[in-house]
Structure 1
Amino acid sequence: MYAELSAAAQTAFASVASAALSAESARSIAAAPGGFATKAVHGQRYWYHQIRQPDGRLLQTYLGKATPELDALVAQHKDPTAAAAREHLRRLAQAALALGCDEVIPRHAMVIQRLHDHGFFRVGGVLLGTHCFLAYQNMFGVRWTLGTTTVDLDFAHSGRNLSLALPDRVDTHAAIESLRMGFVPNADRSTYKKADEPDFDLDFLTALRRTGDAPVHVEALNVTLQPLRFLEFSMEAAAPAVLLSRRGPIVVNMPPAERYAVHKLLVCGERPAAQRTKALKDVAQAATLVDYLGTHDPEALAAAWADLQSRGPGWRKRAAQGVAMLRRQYPALEAAVLLA
């Protein structure tokens, strides 16, 4: 269900991923979109970060009294070496793409990059869905042969434990509006639709809680999250990962592949009959990852499966339905014996 990428492609991706993750770990307020300004109050200078909102308003965030340390940090915002570093990352990404690595299509990359720039992933946002499945290709040095069609972009957040850096409010709605791509939110702003691309939706999700499945508005993110059953299984162990676009790498948070695979088996049985095509795609992606992990990391796959099995009879029942569907669709998949 997969083919190996060339050694050169694998090496190129390893280089750009390492460089991008290193750059991300060193990000500070100096890397924030927008600019910086000072105000004088009673003879003292105070720093503010400022960014223009889509409606034209200037949003300012107080940083603190000017100090040599803060002055130096803000000075990095105009440091030409920062622009050179970004250009280096872009060239590394393009070299990896030229060698056969998978890329995020430009219009999707624009959305993901904008949310990244506005801090969505730095405060716990998670990328979900087929874009994760596609990203695993570069991480594993392979090319999938099944389940790669995607249109929607799925994002998630727990909605809890927000520890916000700069800016102190991640305005997700403003980030989407600033793209000027024609996205229109539904009534509760948990989904954004594009009139000229009916299948290109942006969905914002969270795990289902005891309070029910009513949409949850998170003021600190200025977004509404639609609760979904079982979503916590993927979100619990999300970690930084690197996507490739023509304009450079994008660092996001994603579920590990083994949990993604098991989660797909868990939810495919929940799809109504009208969504059979999506259920088949769920199973195709699960089968592909089971095929790969069964050879390269069976321990991780077995651990994820054991975790799911420990969560109760409802989880086990649905997972068993997913495995049964997997075996019907892919009877030759030997690695499916790990799901027992």
Structure 2
Amino acid sequence: MQQIPHTYQTLYSELAQRSLDASFSTEFNVGGRFVTAEVKGRRYWYLDLPNPDGGKTRTYVGPVDDPEITRRVENFKDLKADIKERRKLVSTLIREAYLPRPERKTGDIVQALAEAGFFRLRGVLVGTVAYQCYPAILGVRLPSTSMVTGDADFAQFHSISTAVDDRMPPVLDTLRKVDPTFREIPHQADGRFTTQYSSRSGYKVEFLTPNTGSADYEGRPTTMPALGGASAQPLRFLDFLIYEPIRAVLLHGAGVPVNVPSPERYAIHKLIVASRRRTDSDGTAKSRKDRMQAATIMEAMIEQRQSEDLADAFMEAYDRGPAWKDAIRKGLSQVDDDARETVLPTLARAIRKLERDPSEFDLEERGGRAETIGPRE
């Protein structure tokens, strides 16, 4: 894979920092006052803003133990948005470093939801739009054929949506600022709830949340107090994907700060979902795309000497039980042969470095190579 020159990686880091600074300074009114409050044993920052009637409005900011959030609280009055300069940085990274940018509508939608507070409320961008952020994060160019999409997916833990004690403006209103033809799609299981929105052109926006309970809940929408009237579709395996997301910036406009899954979790999750797609033409195409994205990220992480991070995520998922093991084994077996020959022995070596036995994870080393094996009886 072709490396992104260090100069441009530095520019991206600067853009990410300045974009987050700018979003922070514009999201909160300078007339407010930052306060802390304890919720379930953990302290959080909130902004209290006086109302004309003498009361106040409290807005959730983030955890006190997040150093980036606390630094911005402390330096809030000194933060300034420099949109013109950030636009130049975005343009340079696209034109000279050949980093991917989202299709315009996608970028506008992500930006609108960001400005509405979705990422501040610890939401996570998932799917192919998130994948578009990984070349800059990993420092390598990834195949553009894996980046085409006609929808955008957003996820949040239900526990977080309940605990933050804050909410976005109505999601439909936010989306209609981008495209007035957006409409709610009533959920098939219960038409009173909406997890998906669609424009006249067919562009879809969907909200997801982990299903960590019975599979019976997968078909039922979950109410999400923080999401401005939107509910979310519960999905298995999603809790693994969006646990401890990382910050990134989408190369759109002046840069849109977002939360995305860590690349190692994204790769392992794609292996899992690829093996569980339907076998109709649409499911087969999506499965192929999932496998390509998984293999590409795994190879990139290995090339960037991040194999132990990848192995850590692999072992965590594998240790979760038989359904997880079966899905990962099947996903790996369907990955391109060349990629598998790179990934499997590297995973086995990294697992040994982490003081585990590769055979615990159905990997067997033979003559410097590794292959998947059936589970032990």
User: Does residue 224 in structure 1 map to residue 237 in structure 2?
Assistant: no
**Residue pair 1:239, 1:253 contacting (<8 A) in 2 also:** yes
Q: How does 1:1-340 map to 2 (within 5 A)?
A: 2-24=1-23, 29-30=28-29, 39=52, 45=54, 82=80, 85-99=82-96, 100-145=98-143, 146-162=145-161, 163-164=163-164, 168-188=167-187, 189-196=194-201, 198=202, 200-210=203-213, 212-213=217-218, 214-221=220-227, 222-245=229-252, 247-274=253-280, 275-296=283-304, 297-328=306-337, 330=338, 333-337=341-345, 338=347, 340=363
**Residue pair 1:127, 1:253 contacting (<8 A) in 2 also:** yes
Separation in 1 of the partners of 2:186 and 2:146?
Answer: 31
The aligned residue for residue 55 of structure 1 is none
**Residue-by-residue CA offset, 1:289-328 (whole Å, 9 max, x unaligned):** 1111122200001001000111011110111000111155
Percentage of matched positions with identical amino acids: 26
Separation in 2 of the partners of 1:13 and 1:86?
Answer: 15
Letter in 1 for 2:246: A
Separation in 1 of the partners of 2:93 and 2:124?
Answer: 24
**Residue pair 1:291, 1:333 contacting (<8 A) in 2 also:** no
Deviation of 1:26 (Å):
5.4
The aligned residue for residue 66 of structure 2 is none
SS in 2 for 1:205: strand
**Residue pair 1:268, 1:283 contacting (<8 A) in 2 also:** yes
**Residue pair 1:120, 1:172 contacting (<8 A) in 2 also:** no
Is there any run of 5+ residues in structure 1 with no aligned partner, and where?
Answer: 50-60, 62-72
SS in 1 for 2:2: strand
Separation in 2 of the partners of 1:321 and 1:235?
Answer: 22
Separation in 2 of the partners of 1:25 and 1:176?
Answer: 21
**Residue pair 2:277, 2:284 contacting (<8 A) in 1 also:** yes
Deviation of 1:4 (Å):
2.0
Letter in 2 for 1:3: Q
**Residue-by-residue CA offset, 1:197-245 (whole Å, 9 max, x unaligned):** x3x2111111114251211122332111011111111011212211111
**Residue pair 2:179, 2:199 contacting (<8 A) in 1 also:** no
Separation in 1 of the partners of 2:197 and 2:272?
Answer: 26
SS in 1 for 2:16: helix
Count, aligned residues: 300
SS in 2 for 1:251: strand
Separation in 2 of the partners of 1:105 and 1:88?
Answer: 22
Deviation of 1:269 (Å):
1.0
Letter in 2 for 1:315: W
Separation in 2 of the partners of 1:241 and 1:292?
Answer: 17
Asked which structure has the greater RCO (Cα within 8 Å, sep 6+), the reply is: 1
**Residue pair 1:290, 1:336 contacting (<8 A) in 2 also:** no
TM-score scaled by structure 1? 0.79
Deviation of 1:102 (Å):
1.9
Separation in 1 of the partners of 2:149 and 2:206?
Answer: 13
The aligned residue for residue 64 of structure 1 is none
**Residue pair 2:129, 2:149 contacting (<8 A) in 1 also:** yes
Separation in 2 of the partners of 1:322 and 1:234?
Answer: 16
Deviation of 1:258 (Å):
0.5
SS in 2 for 1:154: strand
**Residue pair 1:129, 1:154 contacting (<8 A) in 2 also:** yes
SS in 2 for 1:314: helix
Separation in 2 of the partners of 1:47 and 1:285?
Answer: 47
**Residue pair 1:170, 1:220 contacting (<8 A) in 2 also:** no
Please report the RMSD computed on the Cα atoms of aligned residues, expressed in angstroms: 2.8
Deviation of 1:147 (Å):
1.8
Deviation of 1:143 (Å):
1.6
Closer, same or farther: CA 173–6 of 1 in aligned 2, 3 Å: same
Letter in 1 for 2:91: Q
Separation in 2 of the partners of 1:293 and 1:176?
Answer: 35
Deviation of 1:116 (Å):
0.6
